[in-house]
Amino acid sequence: MTDALRGTWNVLPIVLLSLGAAVFAVGWVPRWTGLVGGLPTVGGFLLLVTAESVAAPAWVRDISPFAHLAPVPLAEAGLADSAVMLALATLLTGLGIAAYRRRDLLS
């Protein structure tokens, strides 16, 4: 049971990164919220699968957030990689909230 929970918590930084991207989009480009919010998860997964399928260079594969997840429970989760994703999610959320507060809403 604990291994299953560790595996679930392992992907939480990517979920929060997508949430941060969506909040950023709400503040800056509200019409693109769905696309921008889904980009880290959907785009990241497709990029990883495509890069591994065509043997792309390592730097292309490393763009995907999924490339930085450890295969939990076989290995311990990488805390440094998760911390970077959480910091980026926090930054995107902060920028999105700031832009939303300054945005002039028309009715």
Give the Cα separation of 12 and 41 in Å (integer).
Answer: 11
Question: Would you write out the chain's pLDDT as a tens digit for each of its 107 residues?
Answer: 787 787 788 889 999 999 999 999 999 999 999 999 999 999 999 999 999 999 999 999 999 999 988 877 777 777 888 899 999 999 999 999 999 998 776 54
**Domain count of the chain?**
1
d(CA 14, CA 20): 10
Q: Let me know: does 53 contact 46? Beta carbons within 8 Å.
A: no
Is residue 47 a part of any domain in this protein? yes
Range of the domain at 24: 2-101
Asked if the structure places residue 36 within a domain, the reply is yes
Asked if the structure places residue 107 within a domain, the reply is: no
Taking the model in full, what pTM does it have? Answer: 0.86
Q: How far apart are CA 107 and CA 97, in angstroms?
A: 20
**Is 106 among the domain residues?**
no
Flag whether 45 is in a domain.
Answer: yes
